[in-house]
Structure 1
Amino acid sequence: MVRRRRPKKGHGAGLERWLITYADMITLLLIFFIVMYTLSKLDAAKFETLAESLAAVFGAGGMVLDSPGPEIIPGAPPEQMADIIREMDEQGTETQLENLQLIDIKSQLEEYIKQNGLEARVSVTSEERGVVLSFQNEVLFDLGSSQLTGQAREILSKVAPILAATPNYIRVEGHTDDLPINTAQFPSNWELSAARATNVVQEFIRVHGFEPRKLSASAYGEYRPRMPNSNPENRQLNRRVDLVILSSEFAGAEPGMVNTLPEEQHSTE
Protein backbone atom coordinates (compact mmCIF):
# COMPACT_ATOMS: atom_id res chain seq x y z
CA MET A 1 0.00 0.00 0.00
CA VAL A 2 1.12 3.44 -0.79
CA ARG A 3 1.40 5.73 2.24
CA ARG A 4 0.15 9.23 1.90
CA ARG A 5 2.56 11.89 2.81
CA ARG A 6 1.47 14.24 5.51
CA PRO A 7 2.22 17.84 4.77
CA LYS A 8 5.00 19.22 6.89
CA LYS A 9 4.15 21.76 9.50
CA GLY A 10 4.90 25.10 8.01
CA HIS A 11 6.86 27.77 9.75
CA GLY A 12 5.75 30.59 7.50
CA ALA A 13 4.11 33.84 8.54
CA GLY A 14 0.41 33.95 9.22
CA LEU A 15 -0.06 30.84 11.33
CA GLU A 16 0.32 32.70 14.65
CA ARG A 17 -1.07 36.10 13.71
CA TRP A 18 -3.59 35.84 16.52
CA LEU A 19 -0.72 36.59 18.90
CA ILE A 20 -0.24 39.98 17.26
CA THR A 21 -3.94 40.76 17.57
CA TYR A 22 -3.92 39.63 21.17
CA ALA A 23 -0.87 41.77 21.97
CA ASP A 24 -2.54 44.82 20.36
CA MET A 25 -5.67 44.29 22.42
CA ILE A 26 -3.68 43.98 25.66
CA THR A 27 -1.79 47.18 24.81
CA LEU A 28 -5.00 49.07 24.14
CA LEU A 29 -6.51 47.85 27.41
CA LEU A 30 -3.40 48.97 29.27
CA ILE A 31 -3.59 52.43 27.70
CA PHE A 32 -7.31 52.63 28.49
CA PHE A 33 -6.79 51.90 32.19
CA ILE A 34 -3.88 54.33 32.40
CA VAL A 35 -6.08 57.08 30.95
CA MET A 36 -8.91 56.20 33.34
CA TYR A 37 -6.53 56.29 36.31
CA THR A 38 -5.17 59.65 35.22
CA LEU A 39 -8.64 61.15 34.86
CA SER A 40 -9.62 59.88 38.29
CA LYS A 41 -6.74 61.90 39.79
CA LEU A 42 -7.78 65.21 38.17
CA ASP A 43 -9.34 67.98 40.21
CA ALA A 44 -12.94 67.95 38.97
CA ALA A 45 -13.44 71.70 39.42
CA LYS A 46 -10.16 72.50 37.69
CA PHE A 47 -10.97 70.11 34.81
CA GLU A 48 -14.39 71.67 34.30
CA THR A 49 -12.95 75.18 34.40
CA LEU A 50 -10.27 74.26 31.89
CA ALA A 51 -12.87 72.71 29.59
CA GLU A 52 -15.01 75.86 29.73
CA SER A 53 -11.95 78.02 29.13
CA LEU A 54 -10.98 76.07 26.03
CA ALA A 55 -14.54 76.31 24.77
CA ALA A 56 -14.46 80.07 25.28
CA VAL A 57 -11.10 80.45 23.51
CA PHE A 58 -12.12 78.42 20.46
CA GLY A 59 -15.61 79.84 20.38
CA ALA A 60 -14.51 83.45 20.61
CA GLY A 61 -12.40 83.17 17.49
CA GLY A 62 -15.10 81.45 15.46
CA MET A 63 -12.68 78.67 14.53
CA VAL A 64 -14.72 75.81 15.96
CA LEU A 65 -18.02 77.21 17.24
CA ASP A 66 -20.27 79.73 15.57
CA SER A 67 -20.88 81.59 18.83
CA PRO A 68 -18.61 82.44 21.76
CA GLY A 69 -18.34 79.74 24.38
CA PRO A 70 -18.93 80.27 28.09
CA GLU A 71 -16.37 82.21 30.11
CA ILE A 72 -14.75 81.01 33.32
CA ILE A 73 -16.16 84.02 35.16
CA PRO A 74 -19.07 86.14 33.90
CA GLY A 75 -17.52 89.37 32.68
CA ALA A 76 -13.93 88.06 32.60
CA PRO A 77 -12.35 88.64 29.15
CA PRO A 78 -10.78 85.60 27.43
CA GLU A 79 -7.30 87.13 27.57
CA GLN A 80 -7.39 86.83 31.39
CA MET A 81 -8.22 83.12 31.37
CA ALA A 82 -4.65 81.90 31.02
CA ASP A 83 -3.61 83.87 34.11
CA ILE A 84 -6.64 82.65 36.06
CA ILE A 85 -5.97 79.00 35.18
CA ARG A 86 -2.29 79.36 36.10
CA GLU A 87 -3.18 80.90 39.45
CA MET A 88 -5.75 78.18 40.12
CA ASP A 89 -3.14 75.51 39.39
CA GLU A 90 -0.94 76.96 42.15
CA GLN A 91 -3.73 76.98 44.75
CA GLY A 92 -5.91 74.48 46.56
CA THR A 93 -9.44 73.65 45.44
CA GLU A 94 -11.16 75.65 48.19
CA THR A 95 -9.04 78.72 47.46
CA GLN A 96 -9.75 78.33 43.75
CA LEU A 97 -13.49 78.28 44.28
CA GLU A 98 -13.35 81.25 46.66
CA ASN A 99 -11.31 83.30 44.18
CA LEU A 100 -13.81 82.50 41.45
CA GLN A 101 -16.65 83.64 43.71
CA LEU A 102 -14.87 86.90 44.59
CA ILE A 103 -14.13 87.61 40.92
CA ASP A 104 -17.77 86.91 40.09
CA ILE A 105 -18.96 89.28 42.85
CA LYS A 106 -16.59 92.00 41.62
CA SER A 107 -17.91 91.58 38.07
CA GLN A 108 -21.53 91.89 39.22
CA LEU A 109 -20.76 95.00 41.25
CA GLU A 110 -18.90 96.58 38.33
CA GLU A 111 -21.85 95.86 36.06
CA TYR A 112 -24.28 97.52 38.50
CA ILE A 113 -22.04 100.59 38.85
CA LYS A 114 -21.76 100.91 35.07
CA GLN A 115 -25.48 100.46 34.42
CA ASN A 116 -26.37 103.18 36.93
CA GLY A 117 -23.67 105.67 35.93
CA LEU A 118 -22.01 105.65 39.36
CA GLU A 119 -18.41 105.31 38.18
CA ALA A 120 -17.47 108.79 39.48
CA ARG A 121 -18.71 108.13 43.02
CA VAL A 122 -18.61 104.36 43.53
CA SER A 123 -15.69 102.04 42.78
CA VAL A 124 -14.86 98.37 43.25
CA THR A 125 -11.33 97.03 43.47
CA SER A 126 -9.54 93.78 44.26
CA GLU A 127 -7.01 93.86 47.08
CA GLU A 128 -5.05 91.20 48.90
CA ARG A 129 -7.60 91.26 51.71
CA GLY A 130 -10.58 90.84 49.35
CA VAL A 131 -12.98 92.84 47.19
CA VAL A 132 -13.54 96.48 48.25
CA LEU A 133 -16.71 98.35 47.28
CA SER A 134 -16.12 102.03 48.04
CA PHE A 135 -18.81 104.74 48.31
CA GLN A 136 -17.99 108.42 48.53
CA ASN A 137 -19.90 109.80 51.50
CA GLU A 138 -22.22 112.06 49.51
CA VAL A 139 -23.62 108.94 47.84
CA LEU A 140 -24.87 107.60 51.19
CA PHE A 141 -24.96 110.54 53.64
CA ASP A 142 -25.55 114.27 53.79
CA LEU A 143 -22.64 116.41 54.96
CA GLY A 144 -22.04 115.99 58.70
CA SER A 145 -24.84 113.38 59.00
CA SER A 146 -24.80 109.66 59.71
CA GLN A 147 -28.36 108.98 58.49
CA LEU A 148 -28.67 107.10 55.21
CA THR A 149 -30.34 109.08 52.43
CA GLY A 150 -33.12 107.71 50.23
CA GLN A 151 -30.61 107.27 47.40
CA ALA A 152 -28.33 105.37 49.77
CA ARG A 153 -31.08 102.91 50.72
CA GLU A 154 -31.88 102.33 47.05
CA ILE A 155 -28.24 101.66 46.17
CA LEU A 156 -27.73 99.33 49.12
CA SER A 157 -30.89 97.43 48.16
CA LYS A 158 -29.32 96.75 44.75
CA VAL A 159 -25.97 95.51 46.02
CA ALA A 160 -27.40 93.61 49.01
CA PRO A 161 -28.38 90.43 47.04
CA ILE A 162 -24.88 90.29 45.56
CA LEU A 163 -23.20 90.62 48.95
CA ALA A 164 -25.63 88.27 50.70
CA ALA A 165 -24.67 85.46 48.33
CA THR A 166 -21.13 85.24 49.70
CA PRO A 167 -20.32 83.29 52.89
CA ASN A 168 -17.32 85.56 53.51
CA TYR A 169 -17.11 88.07 56.33
CA ILE A 170 -18.04 91.62 55.30
CA ARG A 171 -16.44 94.58 57.06
CA VAL A 172 -17.98 98.05 56.75
CA GLU A 173 -15.36 100.78 57.21
CA GLY A 174 -16.12 104.45 57.86
CA HIS A 175 -13.63 107.16 56.78
CA THR A 176 -13.59 110.96 56.94
CA ASP A 177 -11.29 113.75 55.82
CA ASP A 178 -9.14 115.80 58.19
CA LEU A 179 -11.59 118.68 58.66
CA PRO A 180 -12.52 118.67 62.35
CA ILE A 181 -16.06 118.21 63.59
CA ASN A 182 -17.27 119.01 67.10
CA THR A 183 -21.00 118.67 67.69
CA ALA A 184 -23.10 117.28 70.51
CA GLN A 185 -23.68 114.11 68.49
CA PHE A 186 -20.18 113.78 67.00
CA PRO A 187 -17.39 115.18 69.19
CA SER A 188 -14.82 114.07 66.58
CA ASN A 189 -14.43 112.33 63.24
CA TRP A 190 -14.09 109.01 65.10
CA GLU A 191 -17.73 109.11 66.20
CA LEU A 192 -18.95 110.26 62.78
CA SER A 193 -17.14 107.50 60.87
CA ALA A 194 -18.27 104.89 63.43
CA ALA A 195 -21.92 105.96 63.21
CA ARG A 196 -21.90 105.83 59.42
CA ALA A 197 -20.36 102.36 59.30
CA THR A 198 -22.78 101.10 61.97
CA ASN A 199 -25.82 102.49 60.17
CA VAL A 200 -24.84 100.66 56.97
CA VAL A 201 -24.47 97.43 58.97
CA GLN A 202 -27.89 97.96 60.58
CA GLU A 203 -29.45 98.57 57.15
CA PHE A 204 -28.14 95.23 55.90
CA ILE A 205 -29.37 93.40 59.00
CA ARG A 206 -32.79 94.99 59.54
CA VAL A 207 -33.88 95.59 55.94
CA HIS A 208 -32.06 92.92 53.94
CA GLY A 209 -31.84 90.09 56.47
CA PHE A 210 -28.06 89.70 56.60
CA GLU A 211 -26.69 87.31 59.21
CA PRO A 212 -25.31 89.68 61.88
CA ARG A 213 -22.29 87.55 62.77
CA LYS A 214 -20.79 87.85 59.28
CA LEU A 215 -20.85 91.67 59.45
CA SER A 216 -18.59 94.06 61.34
CA ALA A 217 -18.16 97.84 61.50
CA SER A 218 -14.86 99.70 61.75
CA ALA A 219 -14.17 103.41 62.24
CA TYR A 220 -10.95 105.00 60.98
CA GLY A 221 -11.83 108.68 61.20
CA GLU A 222 -9.36 110.73 59.18
CA TYR A 223 -6.42 108.38 59.71
CA ARG A 224 -6.68 106.09 56.66
CA PRO A 225 -6.79 108.66 53.82
CA ARG A 226 -6.82 107.45 50.25
CA MET A 227 -5.20 110.69 49.09
CA PRO A 228 -3.35 113.52 50.89
CA ASN A 229 -5.85 115.96 52.43
CA SER A 230 -4.31 118.82 50.46
CA ASN A 231 -7.30 120.07 48.45
CA PRO A 232 -11.11 119.75 48.35
CA GLU A 233 -11.02 117.10 45.62
CA ASN A 234 -8.76 114.81 47.65
CA ARG A 235 -10.81 115.37 50.78
CA GLN A 236 -13.89 114.32 48.87
CA LEU A 237 -12.19 111.05 47.92
CA ASN A 238 -11.17 110.44 51.54
CA ARG A 239 -14.75 110.85 52.83
CA ARG A 240 -16.01 107.37 52.08
CA VAL A 241 -17.54 104.12 53.31
CA ASP A 242 -15.83 100.92 52.21
CA LEU A 243 -17.51 97.51 52.13
CA VAL A 244 -14.79 94.86 52.26
CA ILE A 245 -15.62 91.26 51.35
CA LEU A 246 -12.78 89.57 53.19
CA SER A 247 -11.00 86.60 51.65
CA SER A 248 -10.67 83.51 53.83
CA GLU A 249 -6.95 84.23 54.29
CA PHE A 250 -7.92 87.30 56.32
CA ALA A 251 -10.85 85.68 58.13
CA GLY A 252 -8.44 84.66 60.88
CA ALA A 253 -8.11 88.34 61.79
CA GLU A 254 -11.77 88.33 62.83
CA PRO A 255 -12.47 87.39 66.47
CA GLY A 256 -13.52 83.79 66.96
CA MET A 257 -17.02 82.86 68.12
CA VAL A 258 -17.78 81.15 71.43
CA ASN A 259 -20.73 79.08 72.52
CA THR A 260 -23.45 81.55 73.51
CA LEU A 261 -26.05 79.04 74.69
CA PRO A 262 -27.45 79.57 78.19
CA GLU A 263 -25.60 77.64 80.86
CA GLU A 264 -28.50 75.33 81.59
CA GLN A 265 -28.42 74.15 77.95
CA HIS A 266 -24.75 73.16 78.11
CA SER A 267 -23.94 69.50 78.56
CA THR A 268 -23.17 68.56 82.17
CA GLU A 269 -21.05 65.56 81.22
Structure 2
Amino acid sequence: MNAPHRILEGRRALIVGVANEHSIAYGCAKVFRELGAEVALTYLNEKARPHVEPLARELGAALLLPLDVSQPGQLESAFAAIAERWDRLDILVHSIAFAPKEDLQGGLLHCSAEGFLQAMDVSCHSFVRMARLAAPLMTEGGAMFAMSYHGADKVVPNYNVMGPVKAALEASCRYLAYELGQQDIRVHAISPGPLQTRAASGLKDFDLLLSDAVARAPIGELVDIMDVGSTCAYLASPYARRLTGSTVYVDGGLNIIA
Protein backbone atom coordinates (compact mmCIF):
# COMPACT_ATOMS: atom_id res chain seq x y z
CA MET A 1 0.00 0.00 0.00
CA ASN A 2 1.52 3.33 -1.05
CA ALA A 3 1.63 6.05 1.58
CA PRO A 4 -0.26 9.24 0.55
CA HIS A 5 2.58 11.34 1.98
CA ARG A 6 5.29 11.23 4.63
CA ILE A 7 3.15 12.00 7.67
CA LEU A 8 5.97 11.16 10.10
CA GLU A 9 8.61 13.32 8.42
CA GLY A 10 11.11 14.52 11.01
CA ARG A 11 9.79 12.29 13.81
CA ARG A 12 12.14 10.10 15.81
CA ALA A 13 11.06 6.66 16.95
CA LEU A 14 12.55 4.09 19.30
CA ILE A 15 11.30 0.59 18.51
CA VAL A 16 11.98 -2.08 21.13
CA GLY A 17 11.48 -5.74 20.30
CA VAL A 18 12.79 -6.42 16.80
CA ALA A 19 13.94 -10.05 16.69
CA ASN A 20 13.72 -10.77 12.96
CA GLU A 21 11.85 -9.74 9.81
CA HIS A 22 8.65 -11.35 11.13
CA SER A 23 8.53 -9.22 14.29
CA ILE A 24 5.67 -6.81 14.87
CA ALA A 25 8.32 -4.31 15.94
CA TYR A 26 9.99 -4.62 12.52
CA GLY A 27 6.67 -3.92 10.81
CA CYS A 28 6.33 -0.74 12.88
CA ALA A 29 9.89 0.35 12.10
CA LYS A 30 9.45 -0.31 8.38
CA VAL A 31 6.24 1.70 8.11
CA PHE A 32 7.65 4.54 10.20
CA ARG A 33 10.65 4.78 7.86
CA GLU A 34 8.45 4.72 4.77
CA LEU A 35 6.50 7.63 6.25
CA GLY A 36 9.59 9.72 6.95
CA ALA A 37 10.58 8.96 10.56
CA GLU A 38 14.08 8.26 11.80
CA VAL A 39 14.27 5.04 13.78
CA ALA A 40 16.42 3.50 16.50
CA LEU A 41 16.20 -0.24 17.19
CA THR A 42 17.23 -2.52 20.02
CA TYR A 43 18.34 -6.14 20.09
CA LEU A 44 18.01 -8.52 23.03
CA ASN A 45 21.54 -9.98 23.23
CA GLU A 46 24.54 -11.04 21.15
CA LYS A 47 22.69 -14.13 19.94
CA ALA A 48 19.96 -11.92 18.49
CA ARG A 49 22.24 -9.22 17.09
CA PRO A 50 23.11 -10.97 13.76
CA HIS A 51 19.38 -11.24 12.99
CA VAL A 52 18.65 -7.58 13.76
CA GLU A 53 21.75 -5.86 12.33
CA PRO A 54 20.80 -6.42 8.66
CA LEU A 55 17.34 -5.02 9.35
CA ALA A 56 18.83 -1.96 11.03
CA ARG A 57 21.05 -1.38 7.97
CA GLU A 58 18.09 -1.83 5.63
CA LEU A 59 16.11 0.77 7.55
CA GLY A 60 19.03 3.16 7.95
CA ALA A 61 18.56 3.05 11.70
CA ALA A 62 20.24 5.89 13.54
CA LEU A 63 21.04 3.60 16.48
CA LEU A 64 21.12 -0.12 17.18
CA LEU A 65 21.29 -0.73 20.92
CA PRO A 66 21.49 -3.77 23.18
CA LEU A 67 18.52 -3.98 25.51
CA ASP A 68 17.50 -6.76 27.87
CA VAL A 69 15.04 -5.11 30.26
CA SER A 70 15.70 -7.80 32.86
CA GLN A 71 19.33 -6.71 33.16
CA PRO A 72 19.93 -3.80 35.58
CA GLY A 73 21.12 -0.63 33.91
CA GLN A 74 20.54 -1.62 30.28
CA LEU A 75 17.32 0.37 29.93
CA GLU A 76 18.95 3.48 31.36
CA SER A 77 21.97 3.04 29.07
CA ALA A 78 19.75 2.74 26.00
CA PHE A 79 17.89 5.96 26.79
CA ALA A 80 21.13 7.75 27.56
CA ALA A 81 22.32 6.82 24.06
CA ILE A 82 19.04 8.07 22.58
CA ALA A 83 19.39 11.38 24.42
CA GLU A 84 22.99 11.77 23.24
CA ARG A 85 22.13 11.10 19.59
CA TRP A 86 18.80 12.95 19.36
CA ASP A 87 17.59 16.15 20.94
CA ARG A 88 14.15 14.64 21.44
CA LEU A 89 12.08 11.47 21.03
CA ASP A 90 8.64 11.41 19.43
CA ILE A 91 7.55 7.76 19.31
CA LEU A 92 8.14 4.74 21.55
CA VAL A 93 7.10 1.19 20.63
CA HIS A 94 7.28 -1.52 23.30
CA SER A 95 6.92 -4.91 21.62
CA ILE A 96 8.45 -7.36 24.08
CA ALA A 97 6.97 -10.12 26.21
CA PHE A 98 8.27 -13.16 28.03
CA ALA A 99 7.16 -15.93 30.35
CA PRO A 100 9.12 -19.07 31.24
CA LYS A 101 7.98 -21.91 28.99
CA GLU A 102 6.88 -24.15 31.84
CA ASP A 103 4.76 -21.35 33.31
CA LEU A 104 3.35 -20.30 29.94
CA GLN A 105 2.30 -23.80 28.90
CA GLY A 106 1.22 -25.16 32.29
CA GLY A 107 -1.97 -23.15 32.77
CA LEU A 108 -2.50 -20.21 35.10
CA LEU A 109 -3.44 -22.40 38.06
CA HIS A 110 0.00 -23.98 38.08
CA CYS A 111 2.03 -20.88 37.20
CA SER A 112 4.81 -20.32 39.72
CA ALA A 113 5.11 -17.06 41.60
CA GLU A 114 8.56 -16.57 40.09
CA GLY A 115 7.27 -17.15 36.56
CA PHE A 116 4.32 -14.82 37.07
CA LEU A 117 6.55 -12.05 38.39
CA GLN A 118 9.04 -12.48 35.55
CA ALA A 119 6.27 -12.32 32.96
CA MET A 120 4.82 -9.23 34.60
CA ASP A 121 8.20 -7.49 34.85
CA VAL A 122 9.34 -8.08 31.26
CA SER A 123 5.96 -7.85 29.54
CA CYS A 124 4.31 -5.06 31.54
CA HIS A 125 6.36 -3.14 34.08
CA SER A 126 9.21 -2.63 31.63
CA PHE A 127 6.81 -0.46 29.61
CA VAL A 128 6.20 1.71 32.66
CA ARG A 129 9.94 2.03 33.17
CA MET A 130 10.42 2.93 29.50
CA ALA A 131 7.68 5.54 29.69
CA ARG A 132 9.37 7.11 32.71
CA LEU A 133 12.62 7.47 30.75
CA ALA A 134 11.02 8.45 27.44
CA ALA A 135 8.68 11.16 28.72
CA PRO A 136 11.42 13.73 29.49
CA LEU A 137 12.72 13.30 25.93
CA MET A 138 9.28 13.91 24.39
CA THR A 139 9.68 17.67 24.67
CA GLU A 140 7.26 18.32 21.80
CA GLY A 141 4.75 15.65 22.82
CA GLY A 142 4.71 12.15 21.44
CA ALA A 143 3.11 8.75 21.26
CA MET A 144 3.81 5.51 23.11
CA PHE A 145 2.60 2.05 22.11
CA ALA A 146 2.56 -1.33 23.86
CA MET A 147 1.56 -4.59 22.17
CA SER A 148 -1.29 -6.54 23.75
CA TYR A 149 -3.62 -9.33 22.62
CA HIS A 150 -7.34 -10.20 22.84
CA GLY A 151 -6.48 -12.68 25.61
CA ALA A 152 -6.20 -9.67 27.91
CA ASP A 153 -9.95 -9.11 27.66
CA LYS A 154 -11.37 -12.58 26.97
CA VAL A 155 -10.18 -16.06 27.80
CA VAL A 156 -8.14 -17.49 24.93
CA PRO A 157 -7.32 -21.17 25.54
CA ASN A 158 -3.58 -21.77 26.08
CA TYR A 159 -2.79 -18.07 26.51
CA ASN A 160 -2.62 -18.77 30.24
CA VAL A 161 -0.49 -16.42 32.37
CA MET A 162 -0.10 -13.92 29.54
CA GLY A 163 -3.82 -13.07 29.78
CA PRO A 164 -3.58 -11.43 33.21
CA VAL A 165 -0.21 -9.91 32.30
CA LYS A 166 -1.55 -8.29 29.13
CA ALA A 167 -4.63 -7.09 31.04
CA ALA A 168 -2.25 -5.30 33.40
CA LEU A 169 -0.40 -3.86 30.40
CA GLU A 170 -3.61 -2.46 28.92
CA ALA A 171 -4.55 -0.91 32.27
CA SER A 172 -1.06 0.56 32.53
CA CYS A 173 -1.52 2.20 29.13
CA ARG A 174 -4.72 3.86 30.31
CA TYR A 175 -3.13 5.18 33.50
CA LEU A 176 -0.05 6.41 31.65
CA ALA A 177 -2.30 8.14 29.12
CA TYR A 178 -3.96 9.94 32.03
CA GLU A 179 -0.68 10.89 33.71
CA LEU A 180 1.12 12.00 30.54
CA GLY A 181 -1.76 13.74 28.77
CA GLN A 182 -0.81 17.18 30.06
CA GLN A 183 2.58 16.75 28.36
CA ASP A 184 0.85 16.06 25.04
CA ILE A 185 2.03 12.45 25.19
CA ARG A 186 -0.50 9.91 24.00
CA VAL A 187 -0.44 6.24 25.00
CA HIS A 188 -2.18 3.29 23.34
CA ALA A 189 -2.28 -0.46 23.69
CA ILE A 190 -2.33 -2.17 20.30
CA SER A 191 -4.05 -5.55 20.10
CA PRO A 192 -3.13 -7.40 16.89
CA GLY A 193 -4.86 -10.56 15.78
CA PRO A 194 -2.86 -13.79 15.73
CA LEU A 195 0.45 -13.37 13.89
CA GLN A 196 3.12 -15.92 13.08
CA THR A 197 5.93 -14.45 15.16
CA ARG A 198 8.71 -16.10 17.15
CA ALA A 199 7.05 -15.10 20.41
CA ALA A 200 3.74 -16.64 19.39
CA SER A 201 5.39 -19.96 18.58
CA GLY A 202 5.68 -20.59 22.31
CA LEU A 203 1.90 -20.91 22.65
CA LYS A 204 0.41 -24.38 22.60
CA ASP A 205 -1.71 -25.18 19.50
CA PHE A 206 -0.96 -21.77 17.95
CA ASP A 207 -1.60 -23.09 14.44
CA LEU A 208 -5.18 -23.86 15.46
CA LEU A 209 -5.54 -20.30 16.73
CA LEU A 210 -4.41 -18.96 13.34
CA SER A 211 -6.83 -21.11 11.36
CA ASP A 212 -9.68 -20.21 13.71
CA ALA A 213 -8.91 -16.50 13.25
CA VAL A 214 -9.16 -16.82 9.47
CA ALA A 215 -12.45 -18.72 9.75
CA ARG A 216 -14.14 -16.31 12.18
CA ALA A 217 -12.79 -12.83 11.38
CA PRO A 218 -15.29 -10.73 9.39
CA ILE A 219 -12.58 -9.75 6.90
CA GLY A 220 -11.71 -13.43 6.48
CA GLU A 221 -7.93 -13.17 6.52
CA LEU A 222 -5.06 -12.70 8.93
CA VAL A 223 -3.50 -9.33 9.57
CA ASP A 224 0.24 -8.85 9.09
CA ILE A 225 2.98 -6.83 10.72
CA MET A 226 2.60 -3.99 8.24
CA ASP A 227 -1.06 -3.61 9.24
CA VAL A 228 0.05 -3.15 12.83
CA GLY A 229 2.78 -0.70 11.79
CA SER A 230 0.35 1.34 9.72
CA THR A 231 -2.06 1.59 12.64
CA CYS A 232 0.70 2.81 14.96
CA ALA A 233 1.85 5.29 12.32
CA TYR A 234 -1.64 6.78 12.07
CA LEU A 235 -1.95 7.01 15.85
CA ALA A 236 1.48 8.68 16.07
CA SER A 237 0.57 11.23 13.40
CA PRO A 238 -1.15 14.61 13.75
CA TYR A 239 -4.32 12.99 12.38
CA ALA A 240 -4.77 11.21 15.72
CA ARG A 241 -3.68 14.04 18.01
CA ARG A 242 -6.86 13.84 20.12
CA LEU A 243 -6.79 10.08 20.62
CA THR A 244 -5.23 8.48 23.68
CA GLY A 245 -5.72 5.70 26.21
CA SER A 246 -7.32 3.25 23.78
CA THR A 247 -6.84 -0.44 23.19
CA VAL A 248 -6.86 -0.55 19.40
CA TYR A 249 -7.65 -3.90 17.77
CA VAL A 250 -5.89 -4.71 14.51
CA ASP A 251 -7.46 -8.11 13.88
CA GLY A 252 -9.82 -7.97 10.91
CA GLY A 253 -12.75 -7.60 13.32
CA LEU A 254 -12.11 -10.89 15.12
CA ASN A 255 -12.64 -9.30 18.53
CA ILE A 256 -16.31 -8.51 17.80
CA ILE A 257 -17.21 -12.18 17.24
CA ALA A 258 -18.57 -14.10 20.21
Q: Same fold (TM over 0.5)?
A: no
- TM-score w.r.t. length of structure 2: 0.34
- TM-score w.r.t. length of structure 1: 0.33
Q: Over alpha carbons, which structure has the higher Rg?
A: 1
